[in-house]
Structures are given as C-alpha cells and as structure tokens.
Structure 1
Amino acid sequence: MQPVNNLISFCLEGPGSVFRNLDRDDKKLLEENHHISHFRRGDILLREGDRPSELMCLATGKVKIIKKGIGGRGQILSLVPPQGLIGYRALFSETTYCASAIAIEESVACSFRKETVLDLTYRNPDLALRMMRVFAEEMRFINHRTVSLTQKHIRGRLAESLLFLRDIYGYMPDGKTLNVYLPREDLASFSNMTTSNAIRTLSNLAAEEVIAIERKKIIILDAYRLEKISTLG
C-alpha cells in the first residue's frame, strides 16, 4: 500500500493531473480538504442518482462507469485510469450522478470537497481550461463510441474494446498481455453484445492468432490485424 502522501501527490502533481499547474497555496488548499478512500473489487465509489459532495481522483486501481438500462441491466459507458476524475459532470452541472462508478480491482481514490474544487475553478483560468478539455475529450469519446457501437459488427466492436483497454491501461511487462482483467460479461457490456457473443468472438480471434487467451489474461499477438478488424468494423 502506498503512503498517503504519495497518493495525494500523484493526484496533484502527476503528468495527467488537471491540478498540476496550480500554485503551492492552491495545492495546499486541496491537500487540506481531501480524504483517501480504499475500495475492494466490486465496491461502489459513487452511486447513480446520488448528489455529489466531492470530486474524486483515482490514485491507484481501475474503475468502470456503468449505467442502469432497461430491466436494470447495466451498460458500461467508460473505464477510468489512474489520475482520472470521477463524478465531475454531476459536480459542475449541479445534478445527480447519471451513472455509478465501481472498482474493477482494489483501488484508492482521493476525494476533494466540492466547494474547494468549485472555488479553485472559478478563480483559476488554467484549471477551468483543463476541466473543459476533460469534458471535450469525454464528448469526443462518447461520439466515437456511439457510432462504433451502433454501426460496427460484433468483431469490430470487440476489437475496438480490446484496443481501448490497451490504450488506457497498457501492457504488462511482456509487452503483449493487457494490464487489466475485465470479466467476460463486462467486456460484453462495454462492447454492446451478449456475453456468449463476446466469448465466441474472443475464441475466433484466438483461433486466428490475433490474440491469445491464458485463463483470465488476454494477449494481443497481432496488434496490426486487431486494429484493421476494428477499423473495418
């Protein structure tokens, strides 16, 4: 377990942090108005329908954003990497959370008081611009995924999801194995297909030696072909 100082420092000073360019006094204000929360796999970080009182920054671990659909079936909308912000849309729009955040694995989050974050954003143009970029990037991703999930065939959707996992979480030290374990039902939800279709498509890709499957691990053997499958849809 990392020391608390390292966790808060990662959220405030890391290369992907929206807070990294704040001056020392503003960062101290965030340090004085935060708390650290630990989550086990399957724990809920925030729940759809609740009202935000803080802004979360994921310090370690992996988190899925999931929304309830018809009949209570969950749809995974996105995945959060370390230094990713959680709950910012509801916080800035002053509405309830439109989706839940659930830990995929053991995770730690730094939570900053809503009032502190809003005050810093109001009086700090650089932070406001960085927040706007977060919103813009999310909208770009949503637009892209909407087209992909409605127009691509099953193979293309699953290939794109595997590439997204690679891009957000990277590889293990071998340079081929995805550095994340996503249950087949979650991979299916993220790719907008049934679990049986996801399992069948993974098996087909493995038979074609595009990927390999070792228990829970997915190994990308031919990234070029996987990207081509994703592009062609």
Structure 2
Amino acid sequence: MDLSLKVTNCKECIYRSWAFKNLTDEELRLINDEKIEKYFRKGDNICLEGEPISSFMYLQNGLVKLYKTELNDREHIISIAKPNDFIGLLSIFSNVTHVYSVTAIEDSVVCFVDLAIIKNLIKTNGIFAIDFFEKISKIADSVIKTRVDINTRQLRGRIAYILLLFSKHIYNSTKYSLPISRKEVAELIDMSTENVIRVLSEFRKDKLIQIEGKNIEILDIKRLERVYDLG
C-alpha cells in the first residue's frame, strides 16, 4: 500500500535531479503543481509488468528493484535503483505498458509526474530533451555493463560484485544491512540460492566478510576486490 505525502516544492527540493536544472521557473511550477509524491513500504509494488505506463517516476529516497517475472514465476532482477534514479525510464517511450516490475526493497519515496507533461517539455525545451535522453542512454549503458560484469564472472566473482555494489555505490560503507534476501541475490546474479549461501559462508570462513543475518561487514575490501577482479 502506498501513502501520499505532502508535496515538496520542486524548485527547493534537495532531491531535485540534474535533469530538471534547465527547466524555466514556469516549467518547474507546472511539474510541481501536477506531481504526486508517494511513500512505499519495503515490499510494496510501485508498478507491475504489463500495467499501462502513465507517469514518469523519480526515486527520491530508498531503494527499489527492477525485475521481470518468467513463465515459471521466477523473478529475474534487472537492476537496483538508488536515490536520484529514474525508474521505469527505459520503456516509457518504447512501450505503452511496463516491461518490468518495480518493488521497494527499502522504505522509499517516489515522485510521479504525468507522462504527457514530460513529453510536452521534451517537445518545447530542447536542452531538457538532450539531458533527458542522455540520461536514458546512461541508464541503458549501466544495465548492459552490469549484466556483462555479472555474466563474465564465476560465482565467487559475482557474489563479490554484489557485496561491493552495496558497499561502494549504495551505502558508502563497509558495514550495511543487505536489503535483499539470499534468494533475490541469486535472482540478480543468475545463480541458485544454495550456491549464494555456500559462497557467503566461504567468504566468512576466509575472513573476507562477517555476517549476522542481513548485517554485512566487509573485513578485507582489498582482497574482496581481487576476488571480483579475478572473476
């Protein structure tokens, strides 16, 4: 279930994206008047695969997973989005329905703007349009790089990649609470849950990490980086 929040003024919002820096005050007011901010608890669905696309979505706070559901109901996680990321951006101009689902993996705040407003701004503000499509290209490049990084590594390298991803690019700390389950880690790196559990246990025995439930502490980040580099 989502809960509507008091709307923050776009011009003063600390989460304001660089993509909006080239909008005029009038254009910002238009977005501000029409946007909706919603709060999602961990586990809440933000959008589902196959639902009509009606809004541009911007993650203000929290973490979400983007995933597709296979015919056997197994989820395949495409990527993890963090604050200041656009979510659902890759399909908003190429499809009329979402081609993947988005679910909160931490309590999250998402800003929704009517897609018709964004499309009109693209038509009338060329600089904004360039910034916007540059962002789409960077997201596509990032998704491709992530899949290559994962698929070209063996299991130990894949687990090292995930641990370093959350440490260096999301939490900026060697200590954090892993926001996804072992099963979701497996879905992200295309391995079995059993293998994920086994390798995490090996890393603990090798004193690379310390694990207590979901709490992770990287004890030797240099060695873990070598595991990742060696694949």
Give yes or no for TM over 0.5. yes
Number of the residue aligned with 2:209: 211
Corresponding residue SS for 1:57: strand
Number of the residue aligned with 2:137: 136
Corresponding residue SS for 2:39: strand
Give the Cα–Cα distance (whole angstroms) in 2 for the partners of residues 225 and 77 of structure 1: 27
Give the Cα–Cα distance (whole angstroms) in 2 for the partners of residues 7 and 85 of structure 1: 18
Structure 1 stretches lacking a partner, 5+ long:
none
Number of the residue aligned with 1:150: 151
Corresponding residue SS for 1:108: strand
Give, in angstroms, the shift of residue 156 of structure 1: 0.6
Number of the residue aligned with 2:170: 169
Please tell me the residue identity of whatever aligns with 1:221. L
Q: 1:187 aligns with which of 185, 188, 195?
A: 185
Give, in angstroms, the shift of residue 6 of structure 1: 4.4
Number of the residue aligned with 2:19: 18
Are 2:62 and 1:61 equivalent residues in the alignment?
Answer: yes
| Cα-to-partner distance string for 1:93-140 (whole Å, 9 max, x where unaligned) | 243211100010211111000111111122222222222222222222
Corresponding residue SS for 2:111: strand
Contact preservation (8 Å) 1:169, 1:180: no
Q: Which moved more, 1:139-148 or 1:183-192?
A: 139-148
Give, in angstroms, the shift of residue 142 of structure 1: 2.6
Number of the residue aligned with 1:46: 47
Q: Which moved more, 1:207-216 or 1:160-169?
A: 160-169
Could you say if the C-alpha distance between residues 123 and 71 of structure 1 is closer, same or farther in structure 2, counting changes exceeding 3 Å? Answer: same
Are 2:34 and 1:33 equivalent residues in the alignment?
Answer: yes
Please tell me the residue identity of whatever aligns with 1:197. N
- Which structure 1 residue ranges, 4+ long, deviate > 3 Å from structure 2? 3-10, 12-17
Please tell me the residue identity of whatever aligns with 1:32. D
Q: Could you state the TM-score of these two structures normalised by the residue count of structure 2? A: 0.89
Number of the residue aligned with 1:81: 82
Contact preservation (8 Å) 1:178, 1:220: no
Contact preservation (8 Å) 2:10, 2:29: no
Contact preservation (8 Å) 1:177, 1:219: yes
Corresponding residue SS for 1:41: coil
| Cα-to-partner distance string for 1:166-212 (whole Å, 9 max, x where unaligned) | 233123xxx42136522111112112111111111111111111111
Q: Per residue, is there more helix in 1 or in 2?
A: 1
Structure 2 stretches lacking a partner, 5+ long:
none
Describe how 1:90-169 pairs up with structure 2 within 5 A. 90-169=91-170
Q: Could you state the TM-score of these two structures normalised by the residue count of structure 1? A: 0.88
Could you say if the C-alpha distance between residues 13 and 106 of structure 1 is closer, same or farther in structure 2, counting changes exceeding 3 Å? Answer: closer
Contact preservation (8 Å) 1:155, 1:201: yes
Give, in angstroms, the shift of residue 7 of structure 1: 7.7
Contact preservation (8 Å) 2:63, 2:106: yes
Please tell me the residue identity of whatever aligns with 1:223. I
